[in-house]
């Protein structure tokens, strides 16, 4: 996918490809979580500022998808296959993250707990995708990937969620950073750590790339 020169070219190429797929996967998970969040908001809440924010989030989500297609180009189908494999690995941790958030909200007797929990998942993943993009640009100096950073999506999801909390009468959201009741750990943090570990496991992603390319070009 990228031209390099020297004895370590193949390793460098695979590393860069792994970074690209990790970033794509983080953004794709964010896009899907955001769509799920938007679809979960009750019609009774979709008015005034909330409706305005929903439209902004939907617009930013669509912008992300267009950017992905442009960056992936003719390799979009190939990229999607590997992204799907990565997302299969985090399907269970993502479900655990949602359930942990939902349980905390229900315990605090928040109305519309399901929608708020999905909003938290979208917000957390949007921030994660933003941080991934920042690391790729600042640490690895791969400024090319700034085009798929979901910075606007992260901000618009957060603003929509704040507006929802305000509408339902909870200006200050419940704290998700505290340990579970009677425990010294947070099930929310544990689930998120599993998600993050999978997305950031570049060695596993590199192995997938090599395996797939060996199937496509078995005699090279």
User: Phi first, then psi: what are they for 193, rounded to 5°?
Assistant: -60, -35
pLDDT value for 142: 64
Higher pLDDT, 135 or 94: 94
pLDDT value for 13: 76
Residue 122 has pLDDT above 50, yes or no: yes
Q: Report the C-alpha gap between 103 and 92 in whole angstroms.
A: 16
Q: How far is CA 74 from CA 77, 78, 80, 189, in A?
A: 8, 9, 11, 38
Task: Write down the mean pLDDT value for the chain.
Answer: 81
Count the neighbouring beta carbons within 10 Å of the beta carbon of residue 174: 17
pLDDT value for 4: 40
Nearest 10 degrees: Cα torsion 178, 100, 156, 84: 130
Q: What is the pLDDT of residues 17-57, one digit of tens each?
A: 888 888 888 888 888 898 899 999 999 999 888 999 899 88
pLDDT category, 151, cuts 50, 70, 90? low
Query: Residues 87-94: what's their mean pLDDT?
Result: 92
Residue 127's contacts (CB-CB under 8 Å, 6 or more residues apart) are: 154, 158
Q: Report the C-alpha gap between 21 and 209 in whole angstroms.
A: 9
Q: How far is CA 170 from CA 38, 95, 163, 167, 175, in A?
A: 19, 25, 10, 8, 12
CA neighbours closer than 13 Å in the CB half-sphere of residue 81: 8
Higher pLDDT, 120 or 169: 120
Residue 217 has pLDDT above 80, yes or no: no
Of 4-8, 38-42, 46-50, 172-176, the range with the lowest mean pLDDT is 4-8
pLDDT value for 112: 92
């Amino acid at each position: 996918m990228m031209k390099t020169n020297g004895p370590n070219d193949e390793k460098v190429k695979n590393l860069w490809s792994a970074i690209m797929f990790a970033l794509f996967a983080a953004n794709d998970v964010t896009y899907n979580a955001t769509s799920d969040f938007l679809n979960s908001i009750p019609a009774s809440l979709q008015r005034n500022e909330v409706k305005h924010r929903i439209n902004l989030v939907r617009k930013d989500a669509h912008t992300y998808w267009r950017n992905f297609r442009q960056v992936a180009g003719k390799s979009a189908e190939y990229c999607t296959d590997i992204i799907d494999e990565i997302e299969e690995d985090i399907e269970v941790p993502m479900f655990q993250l949602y359930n942990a958030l939902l349980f905390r909200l229900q315990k605090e007797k928040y109305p519309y707990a399901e929608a708020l929990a999905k909003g938290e998942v979208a917000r957390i993943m949007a921030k994660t995708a933003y941080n991934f993009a920042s690391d790729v640009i600042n640490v690895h100096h791969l400024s090319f990937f700034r085009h798929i950073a979901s910075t606007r999506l992260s901000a618009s999801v957060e603003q929509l969620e704040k507006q929802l909390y305000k509408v339902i009468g909870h200006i200050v959201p419940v704290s998700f950073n505290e340990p579970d009741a009677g425990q010294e750990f947070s099930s929310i943090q544990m689930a998120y750590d599993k998600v993050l570990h999978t997305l950031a496991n570049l060695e596993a992603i590199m192995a997938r790339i090599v395996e797939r390319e060996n199937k496509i070009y078995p005699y090279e």
